Each structure stands twice: as structure tokens, then as C-alpha cells.
Structure 1
Amino acid sequence: MLYFITIIILLIILYMSLKPKKKEKIIPLEKVVIPTLWHQILADNVLFYKKLTHKEQQLFCAKMVYFLDVTNIEAIHFKLEELDKLLIAASAVIPVFRFPTWHYANLNTVLIYPDYFDEDLQFSSKTEGRNIGGLVGTGRFENQMILSRKALHLGFQNKTDKGNTAIHEFIHLLDKADGVIDGIPAALLDKQFTIPYLQIIHKEMEAINNDKSDIRNYGGTSEIEFLAVAGEYFFERPKLFKRKHPELYTMLEACFVK
């Protein structure tokens, strides 16, 4: 009797493994319905979007619609507003806008806190050491991103500081696409460029640590943070970045402009 039960279980497992999997239904971007209010909100708040052509803006919004459709956004201890969601979606789309197709397979939820938080994710005004604006979750927070609402908005309000916390964290997710966050965007950069890329970033990190660079100091702490910090600068102030760091600009262009 046990023999026959075992055979039946094995047959069921075999059937399930051979059964065609239901494909995720993806709506073509050109058929996505874009809320009419989005354009003005984005034009007022997202400089990257404002500089796009009308056709590119439509594509940008369509990619945002898709991101919001597949990603859960949860506000912790405050009421989520439309602008919060749009800024998160814009932050997600900006680094991959030039990619024909991209889905953040390593993200399903964005948790947004009202303020900066500490390493224990405490954000009360009574908590000391609240200086974290965003992070990519690990462990029980795997496939999640945690953002400070204050840092999210500041990243778009200040258009001259070369920084944007949310874009920084989405670049970490791109870095993680090959399975590990190591500062080497293997999923974006052709293999033959890896050594030249490392040579350039080590030279730039040395300049940062010797106070001879306008790239934010945090970029000098590790290869991981260098990629995210330089990426912020690349998207926030592209013309200045190209003028100040032509070699690095060319390398990041190879990563982000497909």
C-alpha cells in the first residue's frame, strides 16, 4: 500500500513539474492608461522627467504604472499621499528608463517611514542616531526596501546637491540583480569592462578620500556605496558629472543607457 502511495505522490510531483506555468500577463506599455494628473505633478517635482520629450514622458509614466502595479507600497504611521507613491515610482524608473524592459525581481514591497531611522528601524523623535534615509532589506526584510519620507522628498526638492536617496537605493537593487551587492553591476556592465571600471572607481575613490573630488564623501567608503553615490550624481547632474568625471561618466553611461 505504501508503495502505491509513493508512486502516486511521485506522479503528482512529475505532473506539476511538467505542467505549463501560467505566464504573467504584461500589458504593452503603449496601452497603459496614465492618470491625467500625473504629468503636472511630475513636471513640478521630477527634473529628470521634465527634461524628457513628450513621447519619452509618456513612456516614463507607463513604466511607473507598471512598477506601481507590481510593487506594494506601505506607509508606516502616516497616511500615504499620491506624491509619495509617484516619487517612489519615479525613483525606480529613472535608473532603468533607457532599458527596453526591466522588472525589479528582487523587490516586492517598499516600506516608507515618516522620518529618518536608526539601524533598528526606529524613527521616533526620541530615538538618537536617526540618520538613515533608506536601505535595501535583508533577512526578514528580503525583497523589501525601506525609505524615509523626508529623505525621499528632499532628494527631489534639492535639484543642485547631486544626491537622491531613493535613486541611491534602487541602484543598490540593480547592483543586487546578479545575486550580490558588491559595487560591480555585473547585470548591467559587459564583462570585458569590469577591470577598466574597477580601475576608474578606485582612482575616483582615492580622490574622494584625499578631498580632491566633488563626489560625496560616502562614495569613498566602499565600492558598493561608490556605485550608488556616483549613480545619484549621474542622474541628478548629468552635464556637470560629464564635465568633471568624463571617464566615469562614459562607464556609467554604458551601464544605464542601453
Structure 2
Amino acid sequence: MGYVIGILLGLLAAGFLLFFFFRKRRKPVVEPEAPLPPTMVELLAQNVPYYASLPDEKQPVFAERVNQFLANVTIEGVDTEVTDVDKVLVASSAVIPVFAFDDWQYPNLTNVVLYDSTFNEKTFETEGADRRTMGLVGTGGALQSSMALSKSALLNGFLNKTSKENTGIHEFVHLLDKVDGEIDGAPERMMPKEHLQPWLRLMHETMQQMETGRTDINPYGLTNEAEFFAVVSEYFFKRPDLLKQKHPELFEQLELIFKQNPTTERKVLEGDEGF
């Protein structure tokens, strides 16, 4: 009997530690000193189709979320200027996937580093061979709280309206995937437990289809489960009508994960709670 009680107490302690880890590690939130400047709100309207498609009453909410992100995360350039457009696009990339989750802040993200173009994943050099990386999320050491993005890829993700790719959203989805402790394509904290196994099954079925070439999904999603999740999330937010038409099951699962339907005017599903 004492042995059983000891096990139960151990499980309760482990549960408490997990709760503490996920709920208390969030850095203190810095509130913006002023509203987002009108010039930057205009940049949102001009450069972020997701924002422009929101109903009038939700656009100020999105702008405030962008403003709060910029108050809490430093955006800096390496041998390149950081413009207001860059800031708006980075912040929008962060806000779009979590727009249904009120008060969400990316834990442990302190800065986003912009490179003018693609860079070397290991050396971060912007000249020479093997410069194929467009975005990277830090996973340890000095890069733990950082994200690196190519400015050209960031801009193309928003300005090229016919593609299914958006590098900024891709990298922030990796951060969301990381919240449960592992970047593995299974965002356990974003979805009800009963939907996890159907998501994993659909993910692997779709990856098998991709191996035969019978799909229009970016083949980079075959790299691993984490990249698959990020790739189809880009598709979900960038070309939702096309994804819903060609991959209705994927669309439905991503709708459950992000608690959004980008094909509707209101975007956010009513009655859903955040993390």
C-alpha cells in the first residue's frame, strides 16, 4: 500500500513539475509604451494579406498583437538594414499561427536575426558555398532564444501571393512545435489529446503519398515530421482554399490545431480557448 502511495505521489510531483515548466518559464511580458504607429499599420495593410482579409473589428487586435511582439522581441540585422517592413513581416509571421490564442507569448524567444539572403546553417556565413538556409530556430546554447531569417525569403513569403511557402510562418510553427519540449511535428499542447493519434496517422499517410510524387505539397516536408508540420502549416495559412480543395483531411486537422479557418471571414473559430 505504501509503495502504491509512493508511486502516486511521484506522479503528482512529476505533473506539478511539468505544469511549472510550461506555465512558469515564460519570460515577463513587456507592454508596449504606445500603440502601433499608423505608418506600420498601413504597412500591415499593404504587405500582409492575412491582416487585410480580417474583419474590421479584428484588425486592431492583430495590430496590437504585432505591437506587443515587437515590444518583447529584438529584431536585428547582420550586415543589413532592418526596415519597418521587415519588423511588420517578422511580427506578423509570429502572430498569424497563434491569433486564436489570446495572450500567447513565444517562450524563450528574445531576438530574431535577419540576414540579407540565404546563409550557411553551421557558420552563418552569407558568402561562399552551401548558403541554402532561409530560416533557423535555435535549439541550444547561445542560439536557444534566437531565430535567424533570410530577409529575401521573409519578403517573398508575403509578397508572392501564388506560392504555398512562407518562411517566417514556417519557423514560428517550429517554435510552437517546440513548446512541449521537442520539435517533432506533434504539437501536443496545441491540440486535444484525442486528436493527436489521428494527426500522426494522417501525417505519415501523407508523407507516404509525397514519396510517390502524388501530391503538390513541398517535398521539403519529407525531411522529417517536424518539417512536414511546418510545410503544411505554411500551405494552410498561405493558400487555404487550395489546401482545403486538394487535401481536405489535412485542412481539417490543421483547423483543429490552430483553431482557425483561414477560408472564412472571421478566421478564428469561436468558442475555443488558448494554450
Same fold (TM over 0.5): yes
Counterpart-to-counterpart distance in 2, 1:252 and 1:50: 22
**TM-score for the superposition, normalised by structure 2:** 0.81
Paired position in structure 2 for 1:256: 258
Conserved in 1, the CA contact under 8 Å of 2:210 and 2:222?
Answer: yes
Structure 1 residues 6-62: Cα deviation after superposition (integer angstroms, max 9, x where no partner): xxxxxxxxxxxxxxxxx94665x9x96231112321121111111101111110000
- Give 1:119 shift: 2.1
Max Rg structure: 1
- Give 1:110 shift: 0.5
Corresponding residue SS for 1:178: coil
- Give 1:101 shift: 2.2
**Is 1:141 aligned with 2:146?**
no
Structure 1 residues 174-224: Cα deviation after superposition (integer angstroms, max 9, x where no partner): 000111111100110111111111111111111111100111001122111
Report the more deviating stretch, 37-46 or 191-200. 37-46
Paired position in structure 1 for 2:11: none
Aligned CA-pair RMSD: 1.7
Paired position in structure 2 for 1:132: 133
1:247 counterpart letter in structure 2 = E
Corresponding residue SS for 2:76: strand
Paired position in structure 2 for 1:55: 57
Paired position in structure 2 for 1:19: none
Count of matched residue positions in the alignment of Structure 1 and Structure 2 = 233
Counterpart-to-counterpart distance in 1, 2:214 and 2:155: 29
**TM-score for the superposition, normalised by structure 1:** 0.86
Counterpart-to-counterpart distance in 1, 2:83 and 2:153: 15
Corresponding residue SS for 1:118: coil
**After the TM superposition, which parts of structure 1 deviate over 3 Å for at least 4 consecutive aligned residues?**
23-27, 121-125
2:86 counterpart letter in structure 1 = D
Q: How does 1:32-51 map to 2 (within 5 A)?
A: 33-51=35-53
Structure 1 residues 108-129: Cα deviation after superposition (integer angstroms, max 9, x where no partner): 111111110012243433x111
Unmatched tracts of structure 2, length 5 or more = 1-26, 260-271
Paired position in structure 1 for 2:175: 173
Structure 1 residues 141-180: Cα deviation after superposition (integer angstroms, max 9, x where no partner): 1011000111111111111111000100000000001111
Counterpart-to-counterpart distance in 2, 1:197 and 1:81: 39
**Is 1:151 aligned with 2:141?**
no
Conserved in 1, the CA contact under 8 Å of 2:36 and 2:67?
Answer: yes
Counterpart-to-counterpart distance in 1, 2:227 and 2:29: 36
Corresponding residue SS for 1:120: coil
